[in-house]
């Protein structure tokens, strides 16, 4: 197996863009996804298709995974034909799914018994960051494995750090998601206020997006809200999953996070409205609908 051969499992919105960046840099990609059609663009660009995760291990000792939910990670790692029981000794498995810190530790413990290294390396930056190779990559694992994979991480992202041992990348991503959850609430409320006040919302973003209120959410997702673009750069259903993990981890630490709990409830409302496959910016629709219900047009204020 050549070090230039890269296994890639998961070709959704984020995974496909990331794998394409590796292809552009001359790496040979051996791809697997539960739905082959999602890998068609990669295959058309020169990636080789594999029918199972086990087949991926036959071609590469460096294997990236970025799937949807912790259960999907479990299946890829430990299921029939999974990576842990099939990867060659000396392999490095890098899980970039946002998942449970405890699962990252479980994967590492099982892998170490077979002389396989693992890194948990969730990312932030959405579809734009994935496409431009400008993701933030939060890594947990051993220094030696991190050093070997760092040149590949640098193709995928700009802000990259090893935060500690197994699970540390996932804990850092939880901190990231906790911050984003409340920031998204503020972004939506800010733009709803601007709309109600009769302001041009793009002009509002132009000015407040460069001051103390500046955030990635207002400058990127705020623009999409104004344009009525609620296509997924990151699915609501995956964000609800992330918030659930963060709330469960906080419970284990006897930590109360009321801001996160409130944001989670609003996103659960979005799921109930059938918006689970829309982008996280579709929270705008939920709060707009809530305000319309509480203050219908023509009703006395």
Enumerate the active-site residues: 173
Please say whether the beta carbons of 217 and 177 come within 8 A: no
Write the CB contacts of 180 (distance below 8 Å, at least 6 apart in sequence).
124, 217, 280
In the block, tokens 């705020």 appear at 222
* 209, 238, 265, 293: CA torsion to nearest 10: 70
CA distances for 35 relative to 23, 32, 49, angstroms: 20, 8, 11
Which residues are CB-neighbours of 161 under 8 A, at least 6 positions away?
A: 137, 138, 139
Pairwise CA distance, residues 98 & 25, whole Å = 25
DSSP secondary structure code for residue 6 in this structure: E
CA distance 267 to 239: 8
Smallest CA-to-CA distance from 208 within 200, 271, 54 is with 200
């Amino acid at each position: 197996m050549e070090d230039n051969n890269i296994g890639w499992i998961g070709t959704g919105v984020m995974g496909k863009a990331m794998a394409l960046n590796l292809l552009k840099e001359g790496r040979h990609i051996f791809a697997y996804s539960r739905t082959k059609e999602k890998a068609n663009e990669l295959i058309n660009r020169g990636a080789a298709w594999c029918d199972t995760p086990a087949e991926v291990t036959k071609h590469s000792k460096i294997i990236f995974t970025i799937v949807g939910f912790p259960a999907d990670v479990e299946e890829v790692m430990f299921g029939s034909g999974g990576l842990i029981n099939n990867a060659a000794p000396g392999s490095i498995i890098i899980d970039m799914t946002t998942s449970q810190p405890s699962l990252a530790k479980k994967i590492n413990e099982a892998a170490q018994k077979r002389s396989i290294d693992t890194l948990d390396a969730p990312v932030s930056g959405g579809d734009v960051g994935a496409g431009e190779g400008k993701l933030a990559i939060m890594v947990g694992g051993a220094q030696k494995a991190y050093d070997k994979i760092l040149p590949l991480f640098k193709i995928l992202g700009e802000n990259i750090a090893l935060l500690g041992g197994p699970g540390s990348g996932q804990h850092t991503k939880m901190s990231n998601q906790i911050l984003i959850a409340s920031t998204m609430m503020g972004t939506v409320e800010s733009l709803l206020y601007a709309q109600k006040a009769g302001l041009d919302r793009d002009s509002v973003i132009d000015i407040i997006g460069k001051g103390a209120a500046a955030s990635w959410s207002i400058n990127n997702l705020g623009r999409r809200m104004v344009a009525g673009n609620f296509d997924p750069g990151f699915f609501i259903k995956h964000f609800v999953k992330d918030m659930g993990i963060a709330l469960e981890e906080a419970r284990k630490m006897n930590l109360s996070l009321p801001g996160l709990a409130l944001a989670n409830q609003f996103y659960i409302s979005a799921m109930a409205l059938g918006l689970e496959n829309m982008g996280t910016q579709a929270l705008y629709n939920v709060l707009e609908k809530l305000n319309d219900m509480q203050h219908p047009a023509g009703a006395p204020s």
